[in-house]
Amino acid sequence: ARAVEELRCAKEKLGLVGIFWRPNKLCGRTLSSPDYNPVYEAAADLGVAVCVHEGARTVLEQCGSDRYSEFGRHIACHPLEQMLASLNLCADGVLEKFPKLHVAYLESGCGWVPFWLERMDEHWEHEGQGQAKTTHEKPSYYFKRQCWASCEAGEELAPVFIEHVGADYLTIATDYPHSDCIGKFPDRTVGDLTKNNRISTEARRKILWDNPVRLYGLEV
């Protein structure tokens, strides 16, 4: 209840457009836990996006933390936690229950998305029998209806995402002011994307402008 109060206050008084949401389990809860439904419902009603973002150096459970420390854990946890978060939201019925909710999977690259959507859909079609199938539509349906992912400016798999998922579901992450961006922003971040000949002019505009406007419900 307090989280919903804070969400409404931030939207009404500060113009909040998105909330930061960790993909990790917390106190045994995944993102599909019914305990989070009041927040999802409020975010959907208010037009506030749920922005899923992993991070290192945390006490929360993380993919890879049982095998690696800093270097390996950081490589593993970002995309793997996002994959599990999208499984929770797209395949466990959260987005079906809240059709107006917008979700963004941020700063973990976009290369994991085509593979993961295909894998989730395959299991939904061939192995989701009885109680295992928790949604009326395949997971990619909910992703394309309500989700976006961010790409890195020079990400080689961004064109693959566009080909297999679509340009309407992609935004950009500069990672500013983290170390991988210092000295590169904006020429080697946004600039690299605008010079990528493998991405059409129309797709670039969607990534840099149209999609963020839709994701966050901006009036521009």
pLDDT < 50 positions in the chain: none
pLDDT at 58: 72
pLDDT at 178: 66
pLDDT at 188: 63
pLDDT at 183: 61
Q: Which residues contact 137 (CB under 8 A, 6 or more apart)?
A: 96
Domains for the chain: give ranges and CATH numbers.
Answer: 2-216 (3.20.20.140)
pLDDT at 182: 57
Report DSSP letters for 90-153, one per residue.
IISSHHHH-TT--EEEESS-STHHHHHHHHHHHHHHHT--GGG---SS-HHHHHHHHEEEEEET
Helices (H), 155-200: 158-164, 190-194
